[in-house]
Chain A
């Protein structure tokens, strides 16, 4: 049981490049989310999913796309990276019915856009 696994741990992109941040969980959690963490801003919700095939926008969705084809995986796509997307990205998951008590976070992906 690995919990929530994020890859890569570190990434440097050039402005305009695209990439996908991977998130996988082996706990059969239906709910998954992506947050970004910036100094002085706390964590802000980007996108979330309540199950396979269902996604919705969070607080800061612009510049990011998501899809949820399986329960286990919830990738986050940056189509054209911008310096403003330099941040630490966290994926989180939880089973339904436990409210926010059940959230498990991954260890994060540190992204730098130059």
Chain B
């Protein structure tokens, strides 16, 4: 049973466009929602994270939007660049717990 559901599986966007990746969760005990970026042959790296007491968090060109009532959160990439082409994972955890639950991943391609 996938506790965090991510969509779409793959996404192709032109340079400068705004790709949006969505995640939904069921467990209301989750209280920390990070996004990871993974390039081929590398391990995931933390991109940005949010707690449910805020509805939006922005770091550079990356923005997380959070809808607590709908139990959904999304990643937006402004002014996307070919270098943003990677696989993106959303995740969730409870407090400072050791266990991260990941979404299925989205392979993003930014065409020049």
Q: Which range holds the interface residue count of chain B? A: 20 to 34
Asked if B34 contacts A43 (CB within 8 A), the reply is no
B61 contacts the other chain (CB 8 A): no
Q: In the docked arrangement, what's the CA distance between A100 and B99, Å?
A: 8
Q: Write out, one digit per residue, whether chain A residues 29-62 have a CB within 8 A of any chain B CB (1) or not (0).
A: 0010101000011111100101000001011000
Q: In the docked arrangement, what's the CA distance between A104 and B31, Å?
A: 20
Q: In the docked arrangement, what's the CA distance between A97 and B32, Å?
A: 14
Per a CB cutoff under 8 Å, which of A35, A43, A100 touches B93?
A100
* Inter-chain contacts of B101 with A (CB < 8 A): 45, 59
Asked if B32 contacts A99 (CB within 8 A), the reply is yes
B83 contacts the other chain (CB 8 A): no
* Inter-chain contacts of A81 with B (CB < 8 A): none
Residues of B within 8 A of A (CB): 2, 4, 6, 9, 32, 34, 41-46, 49, 89, 91, 93, 95-105
If A42-B4, A97-B96 are given as contacts, then 20 extra A-B residue pairs at C-beta distance below 8 Å, sorted by A number, are A31-B98, A40-B104, A42-B6, A42-B103, A42-B104, A44-B102, A45-B99, A48-B98, A48-B99, A50-B98, A56-B98, A58-B99, A59-B101, A92-B43, A99-B93, A99-B95, A100-B93, A105-B44, A106-B43, A107-B42
